[in-house]
Amino acid sequence: MIQDNNKSQVKSKKRVADHGEVFTNEREVKAMLDLVKIESERIESRFLEPAMGDGNFLSEVLNRKLNSVDEKYKSVQNEWERYGIIAISSIYGVDILEDNAIECRKRLFNIFNGRYFAHFKEKCLDDCKRSVLFLLERNILWGDALDFTNPETKRPIVFSEWSAVNGSMLKRRDYIFKFLVEKTHQFSMFNDEGNIGSIDEPIKDYPLIHFLKLGIDDAN
């Protein structure tokens, strides 16, 4: 578990005044996630935190999901990688402060990579790490969750839905965040039974890609 129990809940008075940035402590994070314990441990369950800070909740969710991956797949590297990547692909976050988004991505990567290395040492694949970094770039975003745009560019926040297909392939579909929220009136994101009938069409639909090939070029 990579979390500093003594981590300060406040970075500066200015950040508290400007953005209400007060981080939740680990005990409360765990207690709140225990309210949705089964979902928090399910590898494929989709979580979105619309004001994630540097990822206190998302880190705990990833740890719980990876505990489930370890339990079932630790003895087979390719399966651990595949399900570990599904765990990462189902975690989403937004924060209005860019440094929080960067910090959150780093934190989630370090949790994944720490476990990956502990299990498979020098057999760890650069392809797997690149896929994880790519997913974190796509899923953990710098954005304003109230007006649904990037604070600098003012372009709409776009999230990617990732679905596992035929074992090792991933399907990516991009959706405009604002539309998802207005359509569902809640932050429930995608239907993970694969049924997208209840939400609108994606703005972009990508070809299937192997889970170890993400981020090789800009196209996917």
Number of residues that bind ligand SAM (CB under 6 A): 20
C-alpha Rg value of the chain to the nearest Å: 17
Least distance CB 205 / ligand SAM (angstroms) = 27
Taking the least distance from each CB to ligand SAM, the nearer of 58 and 164 is 58
* Residue selected from 3, 41, 51, 102 as contacting ligand SAM according to rule CB under 6 A: 51
Question: Exposure pattern of 122-150 as b/e (b: 16+ CB <10 Å)?
Answer: eebeebbbebbbbbbebbbbbbbbeebbb
Do the beta carbons of residue 189 and residue 46 sit within 8 Å?
yes
Residue 31 engages ligand SAM in binding (rule: CB under 6 A) = no
* Residue selected from 44, 144, 174, 192 as contacting ligand SAM according to rule CB under 6 A: 144
Residue 20 engages ligand SAM in binding (rule: CB under 6 A) = yes
Residue 53 engages ligand SAM in binding (rule: CB under 6 A) = yes
Residue 212 engages ligand SAM in binding (rule: CB under 6 A) = no
* Residue selected from 86, 97, 140, 189 as contacting ligand SAM according to rule CB under 6 A: 97
Q: Which stretch binds ligand SAM (CB under 6 A): 115-123, 139-147, 174-182, 195-203?
A: 139-147
Residue 58 engages ligand SAM in binding (rule: CB under 6 A) = no
Taking the least distance from each CB to ligand SAM, the nearer of 18 and 205 is 18
Question: Exposure pattern of 74-97 as b/e (b: 16+ CB <10 Å)?
Answer: eeebeebbbbbbbbbbbbbbbbbb
Do the beta carbons of residue 51 and residue 18 sit within 8 Å?
no
Residue 91 engages ligand SAM in binding (rule: CB under 6 A) = no
The residues facing 158 across adjacent strands are 176
Neighbour tally for 215: CB within 10 Å: 17
Q: Which H or E run contains 93?
A: strand 91-95
At residue 85, the 3 state secondary structure works out as helix
Residue 52 engages ligand SAM in binding (rule: CB under 6 A) = yes
- Site of interaction with ligand SAM (CB under 6 A): 19-24, 49, 51-53, 56-57, 94-97, 100, 144-146
